[in-house]
Amino acid sequence: MHKRIVFIVLDGLGDEYIPQLKGTPLEYVSEELININKLVSRGLCGLLAPVSIGIPPSSDTAHLSMFGYDLAVEYPGRGVFEAYGEGLELKEGEVAFRFNLETVEKKGNHLIIRDRRAGRIEDPIAEKLIEDFKRVLKEHDLPVEIHHTVEHRGTLILKPRDGKLSPKISDMDPHEVGQPVLQSEPYEETPENELENAKRTADLINRIVRLSYEFLNDHELNKQRIAEGKPPGNIIVPRGAGMKTKLRSFSEKWGVKAAFVAGGPLYKGVARLIGMHEIPVPGATGKVKTNLKGKVEGVLKALDEGYDFVFLHIKGTDTLSHDKKSLEKALFIKKIDEHLEPLTELKDIVIGLTGDHSTSSLQGKHIGLPVPILFYTDIGGRPSGAKAFSEHNCAKYNNIGVIRGPDVMPLLMDLAGRMNEFGLRPSPKRVLYIGAFGRPLSL
């Protein structure tokens, strides 16, 4: 029998030792979790390195890796997911970026980053700054589209006009406070025949970022923020240049009918691009104040509608870690747990629960330590003996080893009775699930 699968990702779930909590945020509340502990008590558990041990993944690479995509050949670049997350369609030849509205200070000829999120600038202010900047881009007749998404985040799309573009260019965001905004340049390994296109793309994005500083630094709303003691959003800093590539859909890869419930644009982008069906949930924002109840109801609705794989993403855990709010992160995990009860009552089900990476609420950034993971199933499986879910317990009771991203789907699929025996090949397609048959022989 084929069981259905629910895969829950609490973004940036893993963490490191926080002295005030005498453990990680998850360890701090682990004994008090009711529903997650029900799952771990009946399930397997262990540790997950979403990309590789010691490598801090970005959220998009981690998700793609866990969904079974080969990052070396199938990763189109972060900007692509951001664009899709916003419901934008990329046309052939366009290059998309993720950007942050940041706070910089001019030092000589350079711009030093003081706050990478401009104090998590409020939506209406960020929205207005970007709207006004659009006018400037238009006045300069630049082939670019720019959109604000959530808080300090946005998407920028360059359109080919005076020649082809290339996504093989470096980030302008050093990802570190105190460093200068960087000049974008072609990757050193860019092939000769693409070098000119990469150079053209880098020149264009460098010009746009200079313009953004000149315009936003003098903006009335930023002057007002400074007067209120808040960091101004006085520059846009892009990264993650990407171009649309052809990806095999998730359903084709795993033979399931897949749906997703997510609030954050990046996760919607990843799920949409690999063809998962979206279950919209009002109030699912991708922020800490999100509609958790609605999101769990969304999962149940998807199962009712006949989807046999449902991906549920919750972002707040990562956001609180970046803001170094370890106690709030712990309490948010507890709050999530309270809403998961309906999932523990499902029949013929496999539930995976993990994070896409560890995010240190001590350092405020992604780290390469593995993440705790559990695989629950209502019948069968192999209980690990863990009674509470935490980094510590998933190491102590680990009965799956330290797995990597590409191991997640096979484990979920195997527990659901959906994996074919390795070596069998009933289809010309290179897939691993049961039910992928080629054409019947004709007489």
Binding site for Zn ion (CB under 5 A): 11, 59, 318, 356
DSSP annotation of 362: T
Answer yes or no: are the C-beta atoms of 381 and 414 closer than 8 Å. Answer: no
**How many helices, marked H, and strands, marked E, lie in the chain?**
16, 15
Cβ distance to Zn ion smaller for residue 360 or 393: 360
Cβ distance to Zn ion smaller for residue 364 or 406: 364
Measured CA to CA, the distance from residue 282 to residue 287 in angstroms comes to: 13
DSSP annotation of 359: E
Which residues lie across from 105 on neighbouring strands? 112
Q: Closest distance between Zn ion and the C-beta of residue 13, in Å?
A: 9
In 3D space, the residue among 379, 366, 264 whose CA is nearest the CA of residue 57 turns out to be 366
Name the residue number minimizing CB distance to Zn ion: 59
Cβ distance to Zn ion smaller for residue 9 or 205: 9
Cβ distance to Zn ion smaller for residue 10 or 340: 10
Cβ distance to Zn ion smaller for residue 56 or 417: 56
Q: Closest distance between Zn ion and the C-beta of residue 12, in Å?
A: 5
Q: Closest distance between Zn ion and the C-beta of residue 270, in Å?
A: 10
Crossing angle of helices 59-66 and 405-415, rounded to 10°: 40
Q: Closest distance between Zn ion and the C-beta of residue 252, in Å?
A: 25
Q: Closest distance between Zn ion and the C-beta of residue 40, in Å?
A: 21
Measured CA to CA, the distance from residue 250 to residue 271 in angstroms comes to: 9
Q: Closest distance between Zn ion and the C-beta of residue 406, in Å?
A: 17
Measured CA to CA, the distance from residue 133 to residue 129 in angstroms comes to: 6
**Main-chain phi, psi angles of 122, to 5 degrees:** -70, 145
- SS3 state of residue 10: strand
**Interior/surface letters 276-300, b for 16+ CB within 10 angstroms, e for the rest:** beebebeebbbebebbbebbbbbbb
Cβ distance to Zn ion smaller for residue 152 or 225: 152
Q: Closest distance between Zn ion and the C-beta of residue 442, in Å?
A: 49
Cβ distance to Zn ion smaller for residue 101 or 216: 101
Measured CA to CA, the distance from residue 289 to residue 29 in angstroms comes to: 19
